[in-house]
Amino acid sequence: MITLLPLLVSLSVWQQPEPEQLWTRRSETGSIVSLDIVSRKYSAEGKPDVWLIGVVHIGEQSFYDDVASLLEEMDIVLYESVRPTGSRPPSGLTTQERVNSTEKALAFVADTAKRCAEETSTMPLQLEDVVREAALLDRRLAGFVADASTDAWGRPFVIQIDESTKTITLMSLGSDGKVGGKGAASDLTERRVVRFRKDSSKTDKANEKNVQQELADALGLEFQLDSLSYESQNWFCSDLTMGEVEAKLIEQGADASLLEAITGESFSAQIATGMMKLIPMLDSLTGGGIKETAKLLMIEILSMAGSDQMLEGIQPELAQVIIVDRNTELLRDLAATIGIAEDLSTIGVLYGAGHMPDLSKRLHAEFGYAPVEDRWFESMAVDPRASLLSEKDLKRMKVMLQYQLYKARQKLEKENESAE
């Protein structure tokens, strides 16, 4: 069961919530067992209402429909998504910081432009073409490219296309905004060669799916990123970049290779993806029950109080970065949004349910918010009788998980005692 946790890390809870502040629950209606996730409204005097909208990254389409309906009520949505390195708007207090951030953004936009051209078999004519075509690859990418396409001196990147050599060149003209120059005024350039592929050799889109997408397909569920409107104009990514997450893991003394397990790049993640592809075949060979069993296990694990401590016991540094540090970035953006937005009445925070206990406490401590309304949505459901687990098997599994949680808590307590 421990090996499932990287796939579900965004649902792991940082601290065990108080009973009245649960974010996930296991419900039973007749013979159906479901995993429910709450969206909670917070109010504070003189401030816009904030909705903490908890999600699971794979679930029933009806769940995402419910979430989408709530999100339509929001004036602004701040959403979770570890950004590609270089996708932030370039900035900096010093000359070198401005140069460095612009160089990262140039590389990101150039890489995206090359990928768009190769996928569409069309060279872009201007930056707007890259923004538009990026949305076809990933609904979040258009916003990322738009953010990153202005250098740290406030000038849009220059794009040059050479059809004869199939070359895309992205440039920043430096601090002076003129061609040439020295030092901070020097031109910054990223060049990419586009290699068009014949239709027969194009990448199979199924092979580009990440671990969570593969799991959703295998279980007959939907993937969050495919089901919500990330391209909406009032949606803004509020998260760390991949490079920042990696740097913070190293700073905490954690193994940075854990990031590969989360993003699906590690060998073990690739094996897991391959196993997920076998679920439909195994389901047909066994006469059904594999999918139901997997969903039942997910419901039991994700609704179990204290399941977060298993992750902390295995790698507390990972939990610090994945939950607390990313929440800190979100709260900075929330403070800025409250401070500059006029006529704002509702802010939606769309994050994995596991981020919410920490966010809830800090909303109260740092902003004076208090919860005033709950809306529970059913994320997935299953009839346990259709699974391959008997009632006795299910009880044994729960005991095993509870024992693992107990051992994880013991390990964490010993480490804390040693640190003192």
Let me know whether 240 and 356 are in one domain: yes
Assess whether pLDDT exceeds 90 at residue 377.
Answer: yes
The residues, any chain, with a CB within 8 Å of residue 326's CB and separated by 6 or more, are 80, 82, 239, 240, 245, 355
Give the span between the Cα atoms of 364 and 376, in whole angstroms.
21
90 domain-assigned: no
89 domain-assigned: no
221 domain-assigned: yes
pLDDT band for position 291 (cuts 50, 70, 90): confident
Assess whether pLDDT exceeds 70 at residue 176.
Answer: yes
329 domain-assigned: yes
204 domain-assigned: no
- Residue 9 has a pLDDT of 39
pLDDT band for position 27 (cuts 50, 70, 90): very high
163 domain-assigned: yes
**Overall average pLDDT of the 412-420 stretch:** 67
- Residue 103 has a pLDDT of 96
Helix (H) or strand (E) holding 371: strand 370-382
- Residue 296 has a pLDDT of 84
Assess whether pLDDT exceeds 50 at residue 267.
Answer: no
pLDDT tens digit sequence for 101-120:
999 999 999 999 999 999 99
Assess whether pLDDT exceeds 50 at residue 8.
Answer: no
Q: Nearest-CA neighbor of 238 among 133, 366, 347?
A: 347
402 domain-assigned: yes
Query: Which has the minimum average pLDDT: 48-52, 323-327, 400-404?
Result: 400-404
Quick one: what percent of the chain has pLDDT higher than 90?
Answer: 49
88 domain-assigned: no
pLDDT tens digit sequence for 347-358:
999 999 889 999
Give the range of the structural domain holding residue 109, as residue numbers without chain letter.
Answer: 95-196
Reported pTM:
0.81
